[in-house]
Amino acid sequence: MKPTIVLVHGAFADAASWGPVTRTLLDQGYTVLVPPVFNRSLSGDSEYIRRYVEQVDGPVLLAGHSYGGAVITVAGVAENVVGLVYVSGYALKEGESLGELQGGFPDSDLAANLVYTPYTLPDGTDGTDVSVKIDAFPAVFAAGVEPAVAEVLAVSQRPLSAIAFGEAASVAAWQSRPAWGIVSSADHTINPDVERFGYQRAGLRSVVEIDAPHLVMQTHPAAVAKVITDAIDELG
């Protein structure tokens, strides 16, 4: 039985960011699901995806983009997950936060182009939403994407709560699941060396470097889909 492919989006994006890859995989006959990630906290987002995956009948291959990589790192311990694919993502170790992993490397262009907006947490206290400056979004986050599309993505981005940056991963699923990775070597959102370091440390089975921006799923959907389907083939 071929695994169901569950595509997990990252910060400043939504499920539509996977659109071209989703279309490619569906056309190839794969079963694909692309759930929402609420971008409220690493623990909460990971728990939601874990519960979502556990309700899928049969094996699941999880693919996570950007912050979605951190989410699948934790959610991937669901019993029916058979493998992980990191796409321009964070492969955290147990007990490590996004901020800690990024802090060991020079900032990307993203750091200087963030917007901080207060919102109310469920307990009534203030939280902070983090998003990308709309005018900087095309160059920093969506370089290589058709300008008209990048403009739409910029004004419809899903922010990430600042809570998620400092929250440590409670587990690292790559310790018990085979994993594969894609590095976007022209990434201006995550320093590509952050991606490379995390993947090397996790001992991924293979890592493909693509001369692509952060939204590699938009600019190189066939290449991304191939990494995912090659992983399925390797799993047998």
SS3 of 95-153: the string is: CCCHHHHHHCCCCCHHHHHEEEEEEECCCCCEEEEEEECCCCHHHHCCCCCCHHHHHHH
Q: Do 112 and 106 touch, CB atoms closer than 8 A? A: no
236 pLDDT higher than 90: no
Tell me what the pLDDT averaged over the chain comes to: 97
Q: What is the pTM of this model?
A: 0.97
19 pLDDT higher than 90: yes
- What the block records as the tokens of 38 is 């609420």
Distance CA 22, CA 67 (A): 18
Mean pLDDT of 158-170: 97
Quick one: pLDDT at residue 1? 87
Q: Do 77 and 19 touch, CB atoms closer than 8 A? A: no
Chain segment 142-158, per-residue pLDDT in tens: 999 999 999 999 999 99
189 pLDDT higher than 90: yes
| Percentage, residues of the chain above pLDDT 90 | 98
The residue among 210, 225, 229, 230 whose CA lies nearest residue 88 is: 210
Distance CA 54, CA 49 (A): 9
Neighbouring CB atoms inside 10 A of 190's CB total 25
Mean pLDDT of 132-147: 96
- Half-sphere CA count of 37, side-chain side, radius 13 A: 42
Q: Are strands 81-87 and 60-65 parallel, antiparallel or unpaired?
A: parallel
116 pLDDT higher than 90: yes
At position 70, the amino acid (one-letter code) is A
